[in-house]
Structure 1
Amino acid sequence: MGESRKLSGRYRLLNPLGAGSVRLAFDEAEHRDVAVRELRVPPELRESALFEARRATGLRHPSVVRVLDVLIEGGVPWLVMEFVSGVSLEQAVRSRRPLPVAQAARAGVCVLSALTAAHGAGIVHGRVDPGNVLLTATGRAVLAGFGAPSLSMLPSADLWSLAATMHFAVEGRPPGQVPAAGADPFRSLIRAMLHPAGPPPVEVVRETLDRLAVDRPLDAVVEASGPLPPARVAAIGLAVLDRLVACGAFHGGVQPGNVLVDDSGRARLTPLLRSGTLPAYTAPEGAATRAADLWSLGATLFTAVEGSPPAPGAPLTRAGALAPVLFRLLSGDPAHRPTMDELRRELLAVATGRA
């Protein structure tokens, strides 16, 4: 294919982009760089492929590589796409190393937003993978590959592929039959999205990714900074308690990895995923009750103030005014634990220095 060849009399073909079939071209009508790709499909699928490609030209979103034009040249269909300067997620991970969770979550936020817009327009991507996620110099992620036939896939297939892509981002490998273990909320979310029963609701996925993109799990905060002051731990407890009250039922996942803390110290309990609760944070009675959630909250606050989970006979050496609250929360008898209203008053007193 010669360097001087033009498509449709305006797109001058230049060099290949990466190792794929996409080429850089110059749009002489609009004076801009574009990317072009031959749309290779069996003859019997050509008309439906062209229909899908032309429909994709109407999709506009900041995290979508736009399809600008669909044309036929010499009987061959071509896609003309927006040129985005960046490196694919696949290249970034293979040439460097897996991404930090916060960066992977930010990419997930962008791709999920793009998919939500596409699904709302009746478009299924069908090829979400690390090679089609581009990371720009500004830290934004954009999803390429729209306009190709989606092979009649359902939107849920795109969410599964997004989870597999995020798994690759933090593990450096596809999930295969055994997704990565780990109690942190990012890997828990990935496993939930890959579950054969189908992904969690999109709102739960979005909320979790939004928080992980900017906040850190409580266990990571304690690991990095050491045990936290009792007043700060009490404030975290109040925030988690508010979420438990709003939940209105057994949560089942109260543990440090599911409590996200932002830069100002505000905390938020993530929605329940399928991962369950770690043994160190599971109430001794093993019941699915709100009293069991309160025991898990006590174990979580114990870890935050002491630096390690509670164990039989473990002393409270740093808890100060928070100690009596923790003793009641960690009672082996659910009837001896405080009610949620009592707990709020006690935590508020410690958080404000009135205890």
Structure 2
Amino acid sequence: MGTIAVESAPTVVGSGRLVTGRYRLTTLLGRGGMGRVWLAEDELLRRRVALKEVVLPGHASEHVRASALAEARAAARLNHHNVVKVLDVIEDSGDHWIVMELLSGRTLADALTSDGPLPATEVRRIALHLVDALRAVHRAGLVHSDVKPANVQLCDDGRVVLMDFGIATALDDEQTLSSEAMAGSPAYMSPERARGDAVGPASDLFSLGATLFAAVEGKSPFGAGDPFSTLVAVVEARPAAFVNAGHLRPIIEGLLAKHPADRLTVDQATTALRPSA
């Protein structure tokens, strides 16, 4: 979930709606468990934007809903080349929307579906950009909580962008992820998050490792066919066999350590990923 590039897509119900008297929905770009993303026209500034309709599970508490919007507002304060720019968080007729910059290109997930595994050198380049993005996110006091190929945009100009802060959490939020708050993709979830424990920056680093594994090997390291089996694999199993990773293998393994304290940090990952390392 999180595609915000311009691609051809069929018109669906909702197209043409004017949100807050300003944003005209045109094309549905993507959908997922946390909502739908639209191409929209900002009729005030006469520009195109991506508009995400935040749709949390029906059983989510008001606290969870409020937290999701609060962290989206926090993400709006981020200003980093490798993090999608959140322009606004708005409400219209009881619906909540996140206004984001519109990006070119395609997601890493789409690239893997179309082209298969990426060369290790390209994955290294992508990884360095994502580590920089996570450094900025964590310094802002946030945990992204949903790092995965579908939330990584590969722009036409070479820019790599981490997207979708719909389930980000604040570092000082004492709430753990109970079943009502559980969201995201099991195959890219950290063991502590899968267990419902409190999460921190290390959780994003685990998800980064799973994302890099998928990028270079063409599949999730823990995909087991169904969500429950996948979560069990995340918590208990070793990752799938490495075939294409080459020099990236020890870095990915360091990110995929089961215990947060044993994982590579952002700085350690950066050092290991630099070509001179």
> What TM-score does the superposition give when structure 1 sets the normalisation length?
0.57
CA contact (8 A) 1:67 1:147 kept: no
Indicate yes or no: 2:11 matched with 1:5: no
SS in 1 for 2:153: strand
> How far apart, in 2, do the equivalents of 1:113 and 1:194 lie?
18
**Larger CA Rg, structure 1 vs 2:** 1
- Name which of 230, 234, 239 aligns with 1:178: 239
Specify the alignment match of 1:162 in structure 2: 208
Specify the alignment match of 2:251 in structure 1: 189
Unaligned runs of 5+ in 1: 212-267, 271-355
- Flag the structure with higher strand content: 2
Give 1:188's aligned amino acid.
Answer: P
User: What whole-Å deviation, never above 9, does each CA across 1:188-246 have from its counterpart, x for those lacking one?
Assistant: 110111012331232221022221xxxxxxxxxxxxxxxxxxxxxxxxxxxxxxxxxxx
Specify the alignment match of 2:54 in structure 1: 39
CA contact (8 A) 1:192 1:200 kept: yes
> How far apart, in 2, do the equivalents of 1:203 and 1:2 lie?
44
User: What whole-Å deviation, never above 9, does each CA across 1:160-186 have from its counterpart, x for those lacking one?
Assistant: 000100000000111113243368330
Range with bigger deviation, 34-43 or 134-143 = 34-43
Range with bigger deviation, 26-35 or 121-130 = 26-35
SS in 1 for 2:21: coil
- Name which of 63, 66, 69 aligns with 2:85: 66
Specify the alignment match of 1:119 in structure 2: 138
- Name which of 164, 176, 201 aligns with 1:145: 164
Specify the alignment match of 1:251 in structure 2: none
Range with bigger deviation, 34-43 or 119-128 = 34-43
Task: Provide the aligned C-alpha RMSD in A.
Answer: 1.8
- Name which of 13, 23, 29 aligns with 1:17: 29
Offset of residue 50 of structure 1? 1.9
Specify the alignment match of 1:199 in structure 2: 263
- Name which of 98, 114, 129 aligns with 1:95: 114
Offset of residue 3 of structure 1? 2.7
> How far apart, in 2, do the equivalents of 1:180 and 1:166 lie?
14
Specify the alignment match of 2:69 in structure 1: 50
Give 1:17's aligned amino acid.
Answer: L
Range with bigger deviation, 161-170 or 132-141 = 132-141
Higher relative contact order (Cα pairs below 8 Å, separated by 6+ residues): 2
> How far apart, in 2, do the equivalents of 1:140 and 1:210 lie?
17
Give 2:246's aligned amino acid.
Answer: D
Greater than 6 Å deviation, 4+ residue runs: none
Cα distance change on mapping 1:173 and 1:2 into 2, 3 Å: closer
Cα distance change on mapping 1:77 and 1:2 into 2, 3 Å: closer
> How far apart, in 1, do the equivalents of 2:266 and 2:52 lie?
32
> How far apart, in 2, do the equivalents of 1:94 and 1:188 lie?
25
SS in 2 for 1:84: coil
> How far apart, in 1, do the equivalents of 2:98 and 2:267 lie?
33
> How far apart, in 1, do the equivalents of 2:221 and 2:249 lie?
11
Specify the alignment match of 1:222 in structure 2: none
> What TM-score does the superposition give when structure 2 sets the normalisation length?
0.72
Give 2:15's aligned amino acid.
Answer: E
Give 2:87's aligned amino acid.
Answer: L
Give 1:205's aligned amino acid.
Answer: A
CA contact (8 A) 1:56 1:147 kept: no
CA contact (8 A) 1:39 1:148 kept: no
Unaligned runs of 5+ in 2: 1-12, 170-176, 178-197, 223-237
Residue identity over aligned pairs, in percent, reads 42
> How far apart, in 2, do the equivalents of 1:205 and 1:186 lie?
11
